[in-house]
Structure 1
Amino acid sequence: MAGPMALGIVAIQAFNLVDIFFIGLLGTEALAAISFTFPVTFVVISLAMGLGAGLSACLGQALGAGNQQQAALFTSHSLLLALLLVCLLSVLGMLSIDPLFRLLGATEALLVLLHDYMLIWYLTMPLLVLPMVGNSAIRATGDTRTPSVVMTVAGLVNGLLDPLLIFGLGPFPELGIKGAAMASACSWLMASVVGIWLLWRRERLLRWPLLQPGLLFIHWRKLLQVAIPASFTNLLNPLSTAVLMMILAGLGTEVVAAYGAASRIEALMLIAMMALSSVLAPFISQNTGAGQHQRSRRALLQSMRFAVGFQLGVFALLWVLAPWLADAFTDSQEVSRHLTFYLRLVPLGYGLQGCSMLLASALNGLRVSSISLLLNSIRLFGLLLPLAWLGSYWYGETGVFTGILIANILAGIIAATFAWWRFPWKIKQPIN
């Protein structure tokens, strides 16, 4: 199940880089404007991921229990709630474009570009959220290949339309930064149509009429019990990264640059863990719904063992390639030195970091994402940031990077211990 997801994640990251590349050709101001949109877009994506996690967990349990009718009703009600929430956010976003980005520090010149881009982005935002939540429903059935193909094709459509609409190639008008927003909207529209069709015709997971008050609010409550903590869990990571960047900023520009490059390499090195964690939740939810609790437990523990072994192999590879990668990312000897040190130290803990990611996904599959939120909060704000700050105070950048490693190791040990002694935790009954 994780294999197709890994390919889909790679494709999306590649096409995102293509998107940024074409926008960068418009000039520094356009690239800066897009950078200001990242906090807003990440909040929306976190909400969509949280709703997707809630839908996947509840739907998987219902399907595992063989309750197809209730699964279809729950999917329909969940997509309706997602649509209502995102439409509300869309209206609020359009009304707050100028004051919000002024608050974030955008200049008047950038506000013109931001208004052009974000107005289209907010108008078409439902087309982004619906396929993200819908794909989670398809993955809950056990099919990870189709969502990955949809993700890849949507990214390809975006990448092909970008130069046509941004620069006005051939019969297309030259729209500048508006063209980038419209290219994204077209790819989201394609993904939405395909996703809804699959849920309706192939999976039989959409029903009409939707308005059944006796079940509607019950289903919404059960969805949000998982979705709200899962959304906050996603939001904690960029928040902790922002605080970590503040710590690193006090150590010099070269350290910040090295960490920025390391983060991009790290995202590639953890793709296997991201893919595995994304499919572990529906796997566990289906088996839990079917009463196969020991199979769920074995799946988590075997995934953790795989994570440790696989990421140790990645660490060995990075140890050899670190100097070459550092030279490829920078011409500065100082930045290269910091980056090489990071890549030969921090990846040692990737396996145990993967254990934390896998446990969080497994707890979402059991519909106890509040425990996942608690454990992630401990990892980031109880371990990583304090150890990074103490490391910077005592040993500078060496101490920060060592603090990150120690935090990941400790958090991974906590996750593995929790999985061994307490999983599965508070098994909930499938939806009814």
Structure 2
Amino acid sequence: MPTSRDLTVPPVHQVLAKLTLPMVFGIIAVLSVSLIDTYFVSQLGTEHLAALSFSFPVTMSISSLAIGLGVGAASAVSRAVGSNDKEQAKRLSTDSLLLGIFVVMFVAVLGYAYVKPLLGLLGATGQVLELGARYMRIWFISVPFLVVPMIANALIRSVGDAFWPSLMMIGSALVNIVATPILIFGWGVIPAFDIEGAAYGTLLAQVLTLFASLAILVMREKLLSFQLASKEQLVASWRYLLSIAVPAAAGNMVNPLSIAIVTAIVAWFGEKSVAAFGVATRIEFFAVIPMLALSSAIGPLAGQNWGAYKVQRIIDGLKISYWVCMVWALVLSAFLWFTGPFIVGAFTDDGEVAAQALSYLRIIPLSVWGYGIVIVAAAAFNSIGKAKVGLGFYVVRSALFYVPLSWLGATFAQIDYAFFGIAVANVVSGVAIGWYSLWWLNHIQAKELQE
């Protein structure tokens, strides 16, 4: 099924640029929503900002579940496209959406019912816990409208189209950015919903994205089948998809879960430190956009070329991506060193919160190339059907380095040492995983040549 979006023939650097650049703008739009929410909620007070910070690991975990389901679907579909099996691609696309709907409905109901115990486990107490619960109840209602578009967009990217997913991400973000301050503070006949307004803005944007993504998937890409699968076919498809999606989802959840643990560690230093950590990590997520875009681009490239038995193109794609991560970390570090005070000042006027957030932004950025290598390598291995290896990359980075070194630094009774622990974890894990990913693929290629 060769098309103008065939990723097995054009030069690798051109494919990466074509898929990465649109996603840069899309991811900027999506992450700007988090920053906008943080900015406007911060105007309500430090307790509101802390409540949003406690909710962040939970929302990231659920979002990562959705990303994992999308990764599983895109991995299977991209390899079917690479091997020129159009009917299998349609069947897997349809079954993956059905699976996503089933899973997220269960998660949404469970999360809504146990929102307070969940936030309490992270260290939220008193008024901060009450505010966090008010925000999260609305957010859990929006979960089904979050997950289905994320899976649909992953499917669209798997066939080599990054433009429409990016456009939908931008449109959703614009709706969210306009609606959030109105719903938080009120305007005209619209009442002020306080912190719940941020969640309502997200819900509104996601409902619109749901219909847009499904329309493109059906009418433009023609990736959905309206023939009901037999029970045996559906079970076989779900089993195949889950073999990739479960470890991929677990891998995507490792990072926010580790952030949740580190948030609890940071809470040892007080609510202001939690607020600072929340502001800094949101800015950091915004700052690593090129690496996130690369991770979304390497997936379709790796999946299609694996299906076409072109391993060298995957190796070349990883090498280019790793160098881009290193160069970007240098640029980012220099930029935030000088602009950090102005950026942090836009989110808080509390001197202690600002000082701690600025400290994070001057320690971590030079090391983020290591984190970039981890997410790019994991995305590539997920897409070639080696999702357990991708999960292993995240576990190595988080369980062996990120959490232990953060805890070790915190034991010195200064939060800066915890930040230094995070930086060391990024560097060590990046070197180890970058080397292993290239070694493994070269080994596979050598075996294929021998055979």
TM-score, L = length of structure 2: 0.81
**Equivalent residue, structure 2, for 1:315:** 333
Q: What per-residue deviation string (whole Å, max 9, x for no partner) do you get for residues 301-322 of structure 1?
A: 1211222223223334445556
**Equivalent residue, structure 1, for 2:319:** 301
Distance 2:266 2:132 in 1: 31
1:382 aligned to which of 380, 392, 400: 400
2:75 aligned to which of 51, 54, 57: 57
SS in 1 for 2:253: helix
> Quick check: 67-76 or 369-378, which moved more?
369-378
Query: Does structure 2 retain, via aligned residues, the 8 Å contact 1:301–1:419?
Result: no
**Equivalent residue, structure 2, for 1:83:** 101
How far 1:99 moved relative to its partner?
6.4
**Equivalent residue, structure 2, for 1:12:** 30
How far 1:68 moved relative to its partner?
1.1
> Quick check: 309-318 or 92-101, which moved more?
92-101
> Quick check: 133-142 or 328-337, which moved more?
328-337
**Equivalent residue, structure 1, for 2:377:** 359
> Quick check: 118-127 or 210-219, which moved more?
118-127
Structure 1 vs Structure 2: percent identity of aligned residues?
37
Matched, 1:205 2:223: yes
> Quick check: 366-375 or 99-108, which moved more?
99-108
1:402 aligned to which of 420, 438, 446: 420
How far 1:387 moved relative to its partner?
3.1
SS in 1 for 2:318: helix
Q: Which residue identity does 1:48 align to in structure 2?
A: A
Matched, 1:234 2:269: no
Distance 1:261 1:236 in 2: 20
Distance 2:136 2:274 in 1: 29
Matched, 1:193 2:211: yes
1:143-292 matches, cutoff 5 A: 143-165=161-183, 169-170=187-188, 172=190, 180-248=198-266, 259-292=277-310
> Quick check: 96-105 or 277-286, which moved more?
96-105
Q: Which residue identity does 2:329 align to in structure 1?
A: Q
Change in CA separation of 1:206 and 1:40 when aligned onto 2, cut-off 3 Å: same
Change in CA separation of 1:63 and 1:337 when aligned onto 2, cut-off 3 Å: same
TM-score, L = length of structure 1: 0.84
Q: What per-residue deviation string (whole Å, max 9, x for no partner) do you get for residues 214-263 of structure 1?
A: 32112111211121112222222233223334544556788766655543
Structure 1 unaligned blocks of 5 or more: 428-432
> Quick check: 75-84 or 399-408, which moved more?
399-408
**Equivalent residue, structure 1, for 2:156:** 138
SS in 2 for 1:206: coil
Q: Which residue identity does 2:441 align to in structure 1?
A: F
Query: Does structure 1 retain, via aligned residues, the 8 Å contact 2:377–2:433?
Result: yes
**Equivalent residue, structure 2, for 1:127:** 145
**Equivalent residue, structure 1, for 2:448:** none
Distance 2:47 2:364 in 1: 34
Q: What per-residue deviation string (whole Å, max 9, x for no partner) do you get for residues 123-148 of structure 1?
A: 44322111011011111111112111
SS in 2 for 1:136: helix
Q: Which residue identity does 2:105 align to in structure 1?
A: C
Distance 2:337 2:26 in 1: 27
Change in CA separation of 1:70 and 1:327 when aligned onto 2, cut-off 3 Å: closer
Change in CA separation of 1:135 and 1:328 when aligned onto 2, cut-off 3 Å: closer
Change in CA separation of 1:98 and 1:202 when aligned onto 2, cut-off 3 Å: same
**Equivalent residue, structure 2, for 1:430:** none
Structure 1 vs Structure 2 CA RMSD? 3.6
SS in 2 for 1:209: coil
Change in CA separation of 1:412 and 1:250 when aligned onto 2, cut-off 3 Å: same
1:28-43 matches, cutoff 5 A: 37-43=55-61
Distance 1:212 1:332 in 2: 60
How far 1:100 moved relative to its partner?
5.6
Change in CA separation of 1:338 and 1:154 when aligned onto 2, cut-off 3 Å: closer
Distance 2:116 2:271 in 1: 31
> Quick check: 209-218 or 312-321, which moved more?
312-321
